[in-house]
Amino acid sequence: MFKIGLKKILANRLAFCGGVVVLAMFLVSWMAPILAPHDPDKVMVRSRLRPPGTAGHPLGTDSLGRDVLSRLIWGSRVSLKVGFVAVGLATLIGLALGAVAGFRGGIVDGMIMRFCDLTLCFPSMFLILAVIAILEPSIWNVMVVIGLTSWMGVARLVRAEFLSLMTRDFILAARAQGASAFRIIWRHLLPNAMGPVLVTATLGVAGAILTESSLSFLGLGAQPPMSSWGGMLTEGKDQISKAWWLSLFPGLCILGAVLSYNLLGEGLREAFNPHNASRTG
């Protein structure tokens, strides 16, 4: 299934381009100490507000003389870290609760789904802001809070997949052979439900990056002097009339990252869609 999905992604130009950009972001963040031309936190007052194209500063400098390109490169680490840790936590919680609800059914299913519905009633951004306001603003608190407020979609999806798979012949055969509940879930149900979960997780990374950028813009995410794209937007908004590059380049990075993950996620959705598979077969 995954080999067929990979072939479909490679044939989808938009999804392929999104995957290439995502891979490039991984490489840039991993090689940040090598690729960054300057220390991202080094203050150089004599070089403050240099425009793009200045010798040694291809994307200019900020109000403290720090190199914009270096801060963008190091900021990619923050965005990717938040995206993957937050989505990983949300996926684990959603998988666990959705699997229990779909496999057990009955009262257990009803209680978990009602709790999920209750959590969905609260606007996620306001809930995140409330929790962050109580806790100390930090990048780790942001990752945990985003993860704890983003699991509901995964749980509902996994539950629906489990309910559909529970009526299949191979599950009934496994039960007839006396397979334990853990074995049925781990060996039969989860592998067949991971396609849609992978799609949801990919799209969730884009949402987590956007949420982290919004929180950093409000001063509730990554704290100075840590480089983050949202924090760079905050620093640039006061200088936007005379230093447009301070807002333009971080904004383009956020746009490119979110768009790439969305394109890749849509490509994965088409690749793992069984209806598409049946039409092509």
pLDDT (0 to 100) of residue 226: 83
DSSP state of 38: S
Does 56 map to a domain?
no
Residue 62: which of 256, 240, 251 has the closest Cα?
A: 240
pLDDT (0 to 100) of residue 4: 60
Does 5 map to a domain?
no
pLDDT band at residue 277, thresholds of 50, 70 and 90?
very low
Query: Exposure string (b/e) for 91-110, b if CB count within 10 Å is 16 or more?
Result: bebbbebbbbbbbeeeeebe
Provide the sign of the torsion angle of the four alpha carbons 125, 208, 143, 122, taken in this order: positive
pLDDT tens-place string over residues 89-136: 999 999 999 999 988 888 999 999 999 988 888 777 787 888 777 877
In the beta sheet, which residues pair with residue 54? 57
Does 183 map to a domain?
yes
Could you tell me the residue range of the domain that residue 257 belongs to? Answer: 67-280
Residue 136 has which token pair? Answer: 């100390």
Concatenate the DSSP letters of all residues of 210-234 into one string: HHHHHHHHTTSSSPTTS--HHHHHH
pLDDT (0 to 100) of residue 279: 40
41 neighbors 73 (Cβ within 8 angstroms)? no
Does 47 map to a domain?
no
pLDDT tens-place string over residues 22-77: 999 999 999 999 999 889 988 888 888 899 988 889 999 998 889 999 999 999 99
- The rounded percent of the chain whose pLDDT value lies above 70 is 95
Task: Tell me the residue type at 225.
Answer: P
- The rounded percent of the chain whose pLDDT value lies above 90 is 31
Cis preceding-peptide flag for 225 (omega within 30 of 0)? yes
Does 31 map to a domain?
no
pLDDT tens-place string over residues 194-253: 888 888 899 899 988 998 888 888 888 888 778 889 888 888 888 888 889 999 999 999
Does 184 map to a domain?
yes
Does 57 map to a domain?
no
Q: What is the Cα–Cα distance from 87 to 16, expressed in whole angstroms?
A: 22
Q: Where are the beta strands (DSSP E) in 87-211?
A: none
Residue 256 has which token pair? Answer: 């490119």
